[in-house]
A and B are shown apart, each in its own frame.
Chain A
Amino acid sequence: MACLFEMHSLSASYDNNIVLQDVNFRVGENDFIGVIGPNGGGKTTLLKIILGLIKPVKGTIVFNSDLIDRTGIGYLPQNPTGDINYPVTVTDVILSGMMMRKKIISRMSFSDRKRAGEVIEELGLTEVEGSSLNELSGGQLQRVYLGRAIIANPKLLLLDEPGNFVDSAFENDFYEKLKDLNNRMAILMVSHDIGIISSHVKSYACVNRGLHYHPSSEITNEQLLAYGCPIQLITHGEVPHTVLKYHN
């Protein structure tokens, strides 16, 4: 499987506090990796390094030609920061994902608009394509941001805690959609809830300052503890549930 990027002995810090230390990590085409670990363990920092928002204090990250200058990356943030009252339509927001490939000068071509139309149809947003974001339901808004992340046909899709963001009505569709997308792109999905993502991912990256790669979708509590991730299995009623310790 061709490699998309590799991290070598990489460390990152915030205000001189080491958040990630000596991380070696490799992501290949069609990987679907759940990035798990406790709060403050460095999951989001890992994504920010891949996106170039944080520079490592030590070590390197090497991208293959598909991701040079990070042009082949799609990103769904944990809490999208777009102003929903801003005068911008659904089509415009989805088109903004093309900026990943366009950089500064940014005319949208006919083929860009055609691609936006395909994404809008694929995500069931045709009825609201000309609407402002403040006219949308929660589920529709989530589809719009997913559309923005995938419009440029990325080779790597980064999802930061989509469980916080995806509403229950859209959840099944969302994970089905990810399964479909994984046929043409690698996916890195940050989550604190293994219970939800375990039936979707192919492997795990356990992040708690260090990173341990687990090459299977099945993972035991003992393995998690061995990787330094304080995660445990609990039960809600009759339902076994694998979550972080702080979960209520």
Chain B
Amino acid sequence: MGALFASITAGLAGTYIVSKRMVFLSGGISHASFGGIGIGYFAGINPVLGAAVFSILSALGIEYLSVRHKIREDSAIGILWAFGMATGIIFIYLTPGYTPNLMGYLFGSILTVTNTDIIALGIMSLILIIYFGVFYRTILYLSFDEMFARTYSVYVNIFKYVTTALVALTIVLNIRMAGVVLVISLLTIPPNIAMLFTKVYSRIIVLSVIAGFAGTAAGYIVAYFAGIPVGATIIFTLSVIWGAAKYINIVVKRSAPVKSSATGDRNN
């Protein structure tokens, strides 16, 4: 069930970040969340809760700094990425005693996924399905052309912040599975596999969920029998699936008959 919910959340949020070219932003969010994990350990609260708060604040902070204070978005990401990691390391160092799950948070460990984590992922799946279902066109068009969207809606910033916060939560809830360092691949590889076969946004979401589930399940099985880390194996498996899909895509394109091009007067 965990793998299914992880695939649904990663498929929906991943399609959004890949289409909108927000992969680097999402990488920043996932690494910044490590600060929340460190503070969670230090304060004796659930590290995932700490990571959730930290990641949402980081995500909104990056948007705020880049929009309101005209700091380049990649610079804002770089600052908060490093700040989060540094904060996490300092607070973990200050925490008395041994912290046994640290490697699990950094590189993922499906064996440490609790029932609470699965329930949280299930709720997140439901929230994302409803959100994307109700506001599908709004999200699609806002991501495609934000400037134009501002001419017909005064809610553009609200949608941007809410969607970014949902992406941040999705990242945090999948950290147990793939870890802070690898989780971004769980969100980016499945949509990239899907985009090799379709250009339609809704189909990309569905194919991403399927590809994500196939990669996660296969990775888990391989890791179980080989006795190797699950998070890394899932990402490795997804990467192999992407490589195979890309090869198939190239072969199919080469063997397809050349159609009369619509791009003939591209340079007009």
| Chain A residues within 8 Å of B, Cβ to Cβ | 51-53, 70, 73, 75, 77, 80-83, 86-89, 92-93, 95-96, 99-100, 102-108, 127-128, 131-132, 135-140, 148, 167-170
Contacts and interface: CB of A to CB of B under 8 A. Distances in A.
Nearest to B191: A87
B181 interface: no
B156 to A, nearest CB: 10
B143 A106 contact: no
A99 B151 CA distance: 10
Contacts of B267: 138
A75 B204 CA distance: 29
Contacts of A140: 262
Interface size class of B (residues with CB under 8 A): 35 or more
A103 B153 contact: yes
B152 interface: yes
B31 to A, nearest CB: 25
A102 B137 CA distance: 10
Contact of B144 (A75, A82, A136, A138): A82
Interface stretch (B42-50, B52-60, B84-92, B195-203): B195-203
Nearest to A138: B268
A51 B151 contact: yes
A99 B153 contact: yes
Residue with the greatest number of chain B CB neighbours at <10 A, chosen from A92, A148, A168: A92
18 contacts: A77-B148, A81-B147, A83-B144, A86-B143, A87-B201, A88-B199, A92-B140, A93-B144, A95-B137, A96-B137, A99-B152, A103-B152, A104-B138, A104-B155, A105-B134, A137-B266, A138-B266, A138-B267
Nearest to B145: A82
Given A75-B148, A83-B21, A99-B153, A107 B143 contact: no
Nearest to A92: B140
A221 to B, nearest CB: 33
Interface of B: 19-21, 134-138, 140-141, 143-155, 195, 198-201, 204, 262-268
Contacts of B134: 105
A88 B155 contact: no
Nearest to B136: A106
Nearest to A50: B151
B137 A99 contact: yes
Contacts of A77: 147-148
Contact of A100 (B21, B152, B195): B152
Given A96-B148, A138-B265, A87 B137 contact: no
A167 to B, nearest CB: 4
Given A87-B200, A87-B201, A82 B263 contact: no
Contact of A88 (B150, B201, B262, B266): B201
Contact of A86 (B144, B148, B155): B144
B12 to A, nearest CB: 14
A87 B262 contact: no
Contact of B19 (A87, A89, A96): A87
A137 B200 contact: no
A190 to B, nearest CB: 15
B138 to A, nearest CB: 5
A167 B268 contact: yes
Which 3 pairs across A and B sit closest by C-beta, in order of nearness? A106-B137, A82-B145, A167-B268
B268 A88 contact: no
A9 to B, nearest CB: 25
A109 to B, nearest CB: 12
A137 B140 contact: no
A141 B150 CA distance: 21
Given A87-B200, A96-B141, A169 B265 contact: yes
A107 B198 CA distance: 22
Nearest to B15: A87
Contacts of B266: 136-138
B262 A137 contact: yes
A137 B262 CA distance: 6
A229 B145 CA distance: 33
B149 A99 contact: yes
Residue with the greatest number of chain A CB neighbours at <10 A, chosen from B21, B262, B267: B262
B43 to A, nearest CB: 39
Contacts of A86: 19-20, 143-144
Residue with the greatest number of chain A CB neighbours at <10 A, chosen from B136, B137, B152: B152
A102 B265 CA distance: 35
Nearest to B265: A137
